[in-house]
Structure formats: structure tokens, C-alpha cells
Amino acid sequence: MTIYQFLVLFLLWVCLPHFCSPEIMFRRTPVPQKRILSARVPRSDGKLLHRQKRGWMWNQFFLLEEYTGSDYQYVGKLHSDQDKGDGSLKYILSGDGAGTLFIIDEKTGDIHATRRIDREEKAFYTLRAQAINRRTLRPVEPESEFVIKIHDINDNEPTFPEEIYTASVPEMSVVGTSVVQVTATDADDPSYGNSARVIYSILQGQPYFSVEPETGIIRTALPNMNRENREQYQVVIQAKDMGGQMGGLSGTTTVNITLTDVNDNPPRFPQNTIHLRVLESSPVGTAIGSVKATDADTGKNAEVEYRIIDGDGTDMFDIITEKDTQEGIITVKKPLDYESRRLYTLKVEAENTHVDPRFYYLGPFKDTTIVKISVEDVDEPPIFSRSSYLFEVHEDIEVGTIIGTVMARDPDSASSPIRFSLDRHTDLDRIFNIHSGNGSLYTSKPLDRELSQWHNLTVIAAEINNPKEMTRVAVFVRILDVNDNAPQFAVFYDTFVCENARPGQLIQTISAVDKDDPLGGQKFFFSLAAVNPNFTVQDNEDNTARILTRKNGFNRHEISTYLLPVVISDNDYPIQSSTGTLTIRVCACDSQGNMQSCSAEALLLPAGLSTGALIAILLCIIILLVVLFAALKRQRKKEPLILSKEDIRDNIVSYNDEGGGEEDTQAFDIGTLRNPAAIEDKKLRRDIIPETLFIPRRTPTAPDNTDVRDFINERLKEHDLDPTAPPYDSLATYAYEGNDSVAESLSSLESGTTDGDQNYDYLREWGPRFNKLAEMYGGGESDKDS
């Protein structure tokens, strides 16, 4: 055996744990023969310190984890030098796991582990041991503490916190660019052997990526990896303990790596030439088509800006970049005309807006294409020579005078004839008219600037062959002023002069207005129509004038009102003038010139009622009328107590029985009429609500010989004086015929009150008309005889 081989074996023997039977020896020195180890240590007081030697010899116990044997695992042995082997001593164990995980033989002091121990759960256990006398139970050795350490074995593989990692790295990155770091952990003891030393390796993902063995950092391994070629990569990383040596445990994880985009691709048009069509009638702003350049990049790296850089249609068309679709929208910039030009050519450029300077060498990041636009013909409406027309005309022109002409043409090549017309909604009064053939505008009614200074008309031009194609134009007619109105007073003047006025006293300042509007402004002149001895007018030369008195004092009893004609004229051509009359009242004034009264009647009635008194009287009259109206309305609204069919005012009772003649004494008894006592007591009316409840009065009984007329008069008088009489008119009929008849009464009503026979012979003396009655009643004697 060589020296080298011997050294290797020696090193292995030293490093490997030696599983022997450890033993803790309890050695105790008898008290009479105490051995004292002393050390001389200087103190400040000159004394020596003494230390007593203990009887324990202490060593730690070591135990391998994950024991797989069938018997209890032997840990070690406790032994005291007082133990004679006769079983007089008893060993006691306490602390972590004592009695459950660790047990001790009371006689021998042997310690065993009852089950398999995992160091990753607990790395060491602290216990306490003591030896006592079995008979006296008194300790023979002091209690001491010891530790059982668990030796680690490689029983845990490295694990990653995530099963799948997600990472990204920009495309075109240089070799060695860091992508992501993964870290695995090993539950084994890192301080004992290589069980927890982890080494990283890549199992899948080469040759694109690599991993650092010690740190787990994943880096790019190939240059210029292009996202457009491949975007997703899956890398599998292995972590192995025991320094990566054979026999070590390992764990794996998956890392999904995405290449993020960078602007490394320029935009490209798919076609070199693009053809578009547009109608010549398309209004400004109309989109006629789009162009689009493709870019292999994504996001902001693919954003493109479009512009027209050349061509003969740069003034006629424009292009707008649509951000959402990344298209270039071509729109009409100016009105098109097929007859003027039918084809336009544009050169359109598309350029990236976000360019990465690192990839300039891959550029340029722009592209161009040719766009040809064809203009198509349409039937266009007529076009006026102007966008609007303004005509000025004096208001005094004659009817039928041409005030202006509008012109229009058909822009199409066919050049259809044009017909002109007026939009009557803009000329409701039909003051103007237009020649349909030549567009001449003329008046059809007289003009008046004072009524309307402006007329806003609309003229319509339409093709005769296609009347639907029409165009409108605004025509503004301004009416110029002619001095055809005379000036007048500006307002109505209520002028008065005091009776005590002096000559030259100002009583009124007047002004004038004129409907005309001359170019130089208004200028008025004031004068009197004739010389007036009482008043004069003084022109202020500022379109106002003053009215002054010419005499001393006025008398309203002689003349209460003066009429003063004032002539007002303007300064325009032809000169217009008018005469306005001022009504000047003569009034009584105080010493300050304040008016007191202006009428002659006021002197005769100095104590007349004031305005406040008149208003108070009027209010009183109105209140009285309202009260009277309310009272009448209340009286009309009185509701009857009985609203039934038995109301005597609403029903007519017919008595068609003619009675039984003279022999019928039960039909009617005049005694009842003459004797009020035979009638029931008066009852209150049931058809209205009585306001006051009166006690019915007893009417004295009339004697039997009372005349019926007297009876009726008495009853009529009672009704007139009766306060309970109805408020409306009622008719009380007593059927009294009067006493003017020669034949007196023919009624047989009295037969009921007479007992004897009556003599009817006088009927024969009344003439032939009563012969029949005489025969009927005159034969009284013969009837009795028979």
C-alpha cells in the first residue's frame, strides 16, 4: 500500500462518523477525600478563588436519522461511578421526548430511540439525566443535561417553489442576456456533507438558452433570436444535490420564455400601385379609399404614419392615419371636376413612428407606394357665377325695372340650358320677379325703404332636361333711401303756459323725427306757419327748437287753449316739410311756475272731490253691489224640504166629478168656507226651509150671515200680513162670483144650509132662456100633490 493510498483511507476514516457505544461516566469523589483543583487567580483583595471538580464526564450523543432496523435504535449509556452493579441505583431520564421517543434502562442506563427520527423535523434533543438510590430515592449524583444530535443523511431532493415559471426576453438580444433566475431549496443539513449542495443544469431548451450551475440564472445562448420566426420557448431546469455527483437527488421545473417584440422590421406595402375611384360630386372630406402597409412587429413597434410625399394630386387629396386599424384613409381635400381633370397620381409613404436606434442597420423603416385616383363623371347641378349676389336699388324706381342679373351654367360637358326661378318662401309679398331664361331680376311692386330696407331672396337654377339638378344662391337686395317722407314731431307734447307768464319765457322744447335716412344725417328746421302774437319758435340748430311766449300774462277765462302751427322741414333733396300743431293750455301756476289747474271749471269748483275720495266712493258702490248679489244668490239657492211628486206646485189634480146637483149635500158645504174653525190648524209649509218659526194665529170665527166677499177680503188681508207667507207668488181662489147679477146667484150650494123649500117662480119672469129651468124647478106644488 502506497503512502497516498494510506492517506486517503485515513482521511475517509476521519471524516466518516464512528458508531460506537458512547457512555457518560458519573464519577464522584468521596466527601472526606475531596479533590480540590485550585488555581491561583489574582484578586483585588489578595484572596484566592477555589473551584470544585464535578463528578460528571460529559459527551454528546449522535444519532443517525431515518433508522430502518426492526429493533430500537441504540443511542448511548449513562453510568455513575457510584454504580456497584448491584442494582442499588436507578437512572432517570427527562426532557425532550423522554419516555416516548427516548427510553432508558433504569438499571443499566442504556438509552434507546423508539422510532425513526427525521432531522428535518428536529435537529437535536435536549434531555436531563440523574442517578438516585433505589431504596432511599435520594440522588447520588446531581442532575445533568445532555444533547442528542441527529446526524443528517441525504433523504431530501431539491425542490423549486414554482412548478412553472414565466419569463420574457427581448428578441435580438445578445448572447448571455439574463432571462430569469430559478432557485431550488434542499431540506437536508447544509453543514454536514454535500447533501444540501445543489447544482443546476438544463435538460431542455438548448441551444437557445443556458443556465449557470451555481446560481440558476438562465441566459440566452444564441444571438439574434427573432420573434417573428419563433416566439415561445420551453426550458426545463434540473437541480441536483450532492454537488451534482452520481447518486444525488434531483428536482426539475419548467420555464416558459417569451421573446418580446422590438422594432426590427420596417413596414411594407403589399402592392406597388393602388387604384381608386371617386365621383366628381363627392364633397370635401369624403373618404374614397384606404392603403395599408404591413409590419411584422406588434404593438407600438408596428405603428405607422402615412403621408403624401409627391404626385399631381397633393392639393386635391389628403391622407389620415387611422390608429385603430393602422390604415391610411385618403379623403377629398378640394372639390373635384371631371371636366377639368380625370386622373390623379399620389405617392404615399408609410413610416414607423417608434424606431429603435439599435436596429438602424436593418432600415430604412419606411416604404412607399403609388396611388392612382380616377375621377368619374356625374350629372352636376348648375353653378352660379358667384356664391352670392348683392344688388342696390333706389326705392323710387318704377315697377318692372331690372335691378340685376344672376348667371349660372351647367358644368357638365352636355351644357344643358338653365331655367331660373325665385323661391317664393323668401318673397312672400311677391315684390320681385325673375326672367326664367336670362336670370334678370326685376320689381313687380313699388319699393319702400321705410317698410323694409333689405330683401333676402333665393334664386333657383335648374337644368331644363333634368329639373332635379338644381342649385340655390342668395341674392341680397338693398333699398337705397329717397327723401320721400316729411319730418314730424318726435312725441306728442302736452304743453301749458302759466297765466302769469312773462314775454320770452320758455314753455316747451320740441324735436322731430324723419323716416328717411340721408347720407349726411338728419337736419331739421323749425318755423311758425304764420306770425303769432302770443308765441314764437326759436330754432336751436341741433334738430330741436324752443317755444317762447311773446306777451305778458294770459287769461284762461278768456282763452283756455291756444293752437300753434309749427312748420318742420328737412335739408335733403327734394325738401320735405310738414306742419305740426301744438296745443297749449293756459293754466294757473304758483310762484315757482308749477301748474295747479288748467280748466275754467276748476275755479267754480275749488272744493271738488279729490281723486282719493272718488276712488273711495267707487269702492263702496262696488262692495254694496257684491253684497246685494250674494244675498240674491243665497235666496235662490234655498232648497225645498220636500222634493217629491206630491209638491203642489208641480202637480195638477183634476176633479172631473160634476157633483150630484141640488140633492148632493155632501159635495161641498159653504159653512166650511165661512167657519175657519172647521179647518185644521195652520201647518207650516213643507216645500221651503222656514227662516223664522212663527206660531199659527187663530182666526176668529165669522158669523153665519157674513158675505162671502167680505170673508175673502179678510183672508186676503191676513195673507198679506202673514210673515210666514211664501216668497213667491201664489194664487188663492175662492170662486166668488160677485153680486151684480140681476138673477142673483144660481148656485145650489146654499141648499145645504136651508131647511125650507125655495120659490123658483121668478124664473118665468127672466125670459124664454130660463123657461127650461122654470119648468124644472117651478113645479114644486104639483110634485107635492102627486
Confidence band, pLDDT 50/70/90 cuts, at residue 645: very low
More confident residue, 332 or 156: 332
Identify each DSSP E strand in 261-326 by its residue range: 273-279, 287-291, 304-311, 317-322
User: Are the C-beta atoms of residues 7 and 62 closer than 8 Å to each other?
Assistant: no
Give kind and range of the element (H or E) at residue 89. strand 89-95
Architecture of domain 273-374: Sandwich (2.60)
pLDDT, average across residues 307-323: 93
The least confident of 469-478, 530-539, 644-653 is 644-653
The least confident of 45-54, 316-325, 567-576, 709-718 is 45-54
pLDDT over 70, % of the chain: 76
* C-alpha Rg value of the chain to the nearest Å: 72
Q: Is 109 left (phi over 0), alpha (psi -120 to 50) or beta?
A: left
User: Are the C-beta atoms of residues 401 and 440 closer than 8 Å to each other?
Assistant: no
Model confidence over 99-136: pLDDT tens digits? 888 888 888 888 888 888 887 788 788 888 888 888 88
Q: Is 561 left (phi over 0), alpha (psi -120 to 50) or beta?
A: beta
What are the distances in angstroms from CA 50 to CA 42, 57, 340, 562? 12, 20, 128, 155
Sheet holding 287-291, edge to edge: 287-291, 327-332, 317-322
**Nearest alpha carbon to residue 338 among 413, 414, 416:** 413
Q: Show the cell assigned to 107.
A: 438499571
CATH number of the 164-260 domain = 2.60.40.60
Q: Show the cell assigned to 501.
A: 307768464
Q: What is the mean pLDDT of the chain?
A: 79
Model confidence over 728-749: pLDDT tens digits? 566 656 555 555 555 555 555 5
Which pLDDT belongs to residue 177?
Answer: 93
Which pLDDT belongs to residue 178?
Answer: 94
Confidence band, pLDDT 50/70/90 cuts, at residue 35: very low
Best mean pLDDT range from 194-198, 401-405, 479-483: 401-405
Full DSSP string of 319-379: EEEETTTTEEEEEE-S---TTT--EEEEEEEEEESS--GGGGGG---EEEEEEEEEEEP--
Assign 705 to helix, strand or coil: coil
pLDDT, average across residues 564-579: 89
**Nearest alpha carbon to residue 367 among 261, 272, 228:** 272
- In the chain, domain spans: 60-151, 164-260, 273-374, 383-480, 488-597
Amino acid of residue 231: E
Model confidence over 362-399: pLDDT tens digits? 878 999 999 999 999 888 889 999 999 999 999 899 99
Q: Which residues contact 670 (CB under 8 A, 6 or more apart)?
A: 708, 749, 750, 752, 753
User: Are the C-beta atoms of residues 189 and 199 closer than 8 Å to each other?
Assistant: no
Does pTM surpass 0.75? no
What is the C-alpha to C-alpha distance for residues 493 and 546, in angstroms, rounded to an integer?
12
pLDDT > 70? residue 757: no
Assign 769 to helix, strand or coil: helix
Q: Show the cell assigned to 96.
A: 425532550
Assign 449 to helix, strand or coil: coil
Model confidence over 159-197: pLDDT tens digits? 999 999 999 999 999 999 999 999 999 887 777 778 788
More confident residue, 223 or 610: 223
Confidence band, pLDDT 50/70/90 cuts, at residue 710: confident
Q: Do domains 164-260 and 488-597 have the same CATH topology?
A: yes
Sheet holding 209-211, edge to edge: 178-181, 217-220, 209-211
Pairing, β 343-352 against β 366-376:
antiparallel
Q: Show the cell assigned to 267.
A: 413596414
Q: Is 106 left (phi over 0), alpha (psi -120 to 50) or beta?
A: alpha
What is the C-alpha to C-alpha distance for residues 641 and 303, in angstroms, rounded to an integer?
99
pLDDT, average across residues 408-436: 90
CATH number of the 60-151 domain = 2.60.40.60
Full DSSP string of 188-227: S-TTSTTTT--EEEEEESTTTEEE-TTT-EEEE-SSS--T
Architecture of domain 383-480: Sandwich (2.60)
Please tell me what DSSP assigns to residue 244. G
Query: For the domain with range 488-597, which CATH number is right: 2.40.440.10, 3.30.70.1400, 2.60.40.60, 3.50.50.60?
Result: 2.60.40.60
